[in-house]
Structure 1
Amino acid sequence: MVVIDKAILHVLDVNDANEFFSDELLNLDLSTVEFLIKHIEKTIDSQDAKKGCFYEDSEFKRILIGYKNEEMEFVSFSKEVASSLYKLLINSDGVASADLLICDARIDEVRYLVIFKCNNHQGYVHQVTVDEAGRVNTELVNNYAILPGLSQRMDEFVFINLETLDILSKAKKYNVDGNSIYLIPELLLECTQTPSPTETIKEINKVVKKVTEAYCQDQVAAAAAVKNFISENIQSEAVIDPVAVGREVFQDNPSMQSDYSNAITEAGFAEPVAVNQEATLKKLRKHKLSTDTGIDIIIPTDYFENTDFVEFFKNDDGSMSITLKNIQNITNR
């Protein structure tokens, strides 16, 4: 359950070098509360988000603790956050103007500071004008300050547990002084970042592919084995252990196990990562194959090891054949 206690909106117009910081809290009417709650519920379980902890000398942490201890009221605190972010954005390359939503909210009875950086998007709205003679004129107007709809996702966000100060964030890289950095966690929050669940799965697949290529092994079978192992294990515990994945996939080849373990550790993805069970299982449920002949096939992951439904053959000329079995009906889509 999500309860919004306070919320405010600041405008960071970096294109025209203007900042518009609100002196008043948002009116928490039904539509505003619905907007905020929907986006909080949609983003807090994002598999693209990274966990983090403040550095000891973080300036953001200092002012956050001051706000938490009621040494600063919410509007002043939010303005300081907005001002700090605006100064960072104005000195970055290729940055879009944005609206900054800051909320003090309770999520399942835990108090959080929630920050949504809503990068302005182009969209069209209608405009109605009435002239002196009473004639009505309707027009399409190009608007560059469109907020994400309820079905869309926030570009960048931060959740800070105000009890533990644990951080969950999703951020984009910006070019600052010639360096590409995650501006919000690295410069605004000044905190660490651990790999996200999505990044971890991508890196696992990348390393598995690299190792199987190096040993001239079946990449399709290895990729399916990765999905099967992760799917089976996260049903009992919502955690992915990248090193354990390598042990399972390459269990018959110690050399491949070793190469995988070294590569995943060197890439910084050796530590287990917590995942959202439902979201991860949904992604792993099917495996898509694209052939060089232009044919795409989507197969349930757990069918790869079941020759009653699908079987792969290596032909004498080096090509591959796929046989689909026990099909009772085919539907055109």
Structure 2
Amino acid sequence: MVKDLIKEKFGIYIRELSSYLSYQTFQTPNSMFLIAPVSHLSQAELAELYYMSQYLQEQRDPYVSSFLFTKDGEMTFRDGKTAYVLLQAVPRFTNRSFPFGTELAEFHQKGRGYPYEVKETTRIGQWKELWGKRLDQLEQFWIQKSQSQPLQPFEKRFIESFPYYLGLTENAIQYLADTELDDQPQAADSGTICQQRLTCETWKQEPLVKVPVEWVFDHAARDLAEYARSLFQQKGDLNEVMLFLQQYEQVSPLSSFSKRLMYSRLLFPLHYFETVEGYYISPESEHHYYENKLDHLLSQVPAYERFLSGFQEMVSIRSGGLAVMPSVNWLKRTP
């Protein structure tokens, strides 16, 4: 069905479909195409992402994919109830010789030069509101589940663990509020093009393709925190995280505002929210995956607390002993 649609809408004949990350893909001799579902994005959001991709191509980023329009001049096409865009990339194998922290800093520098106003895809200054809304929704769900019987094993662990993560989220929101009150953003704290969620896997694929429908316009601390979180979860080594930040700062030094913003995001337990929400929106066949994920996440609570405490201390040490990031006192009690 998709093959027929692509032929009808774009005049491209597909011999074979394969996959790249979570996308259906196909190739021609010179290009790689991604079929990306975008029902969650408005036309206004897609327009902004289109202009961001055009801008980065003008800045000679070799890995950014571009939007293809249909023969009728439309950006999207539909298959049933789902809207899609077709993205085209030149499939380059990277052989990148410089560290990831350096690469990310250079990408952010290009993104800060984006000359157009961003309204629909911006997340600048919205973290507190978005986190608070997400917490309220999960708390209401927790109350509802607490009064339900019988409970699945996953639900029991969710009910038992939620009060801890509620407290951690409130800590994150307060830390962010204090940062915005007590510290001043610098020129390097202006918005840039970020990933919705940057992990160790995001830019690891060969060939590398940067996918505009995964972007938002935000503070660079978003990418830094999410990559640091992913790196620690994968490697379990704080030194790896600090090396990544050192590489980044060799290109783009971080202000105290950036560091505090990053720490507030590390405090916010995004991995917990995604696990619980994922369980309830996924088909039953995938529940076992989320059950295992929650078990692992809960077993790692002491290690993650040590990471949060150690991260704050290491950043202060590397800032010449300056307390650029106020400590969260209860974390220091973690054995």
TM-score, with length taken from structure 2 = 0.28
RCO greater where, 1 or 2, for CA within 8 Å and sep 6 or more?
A: 2
Structure with the larger strand share: 1
Larger radius of gyration: 1
**Whose helix proportion is higher, 1 or 2?**
2
TM-score (norm 1): 0.28
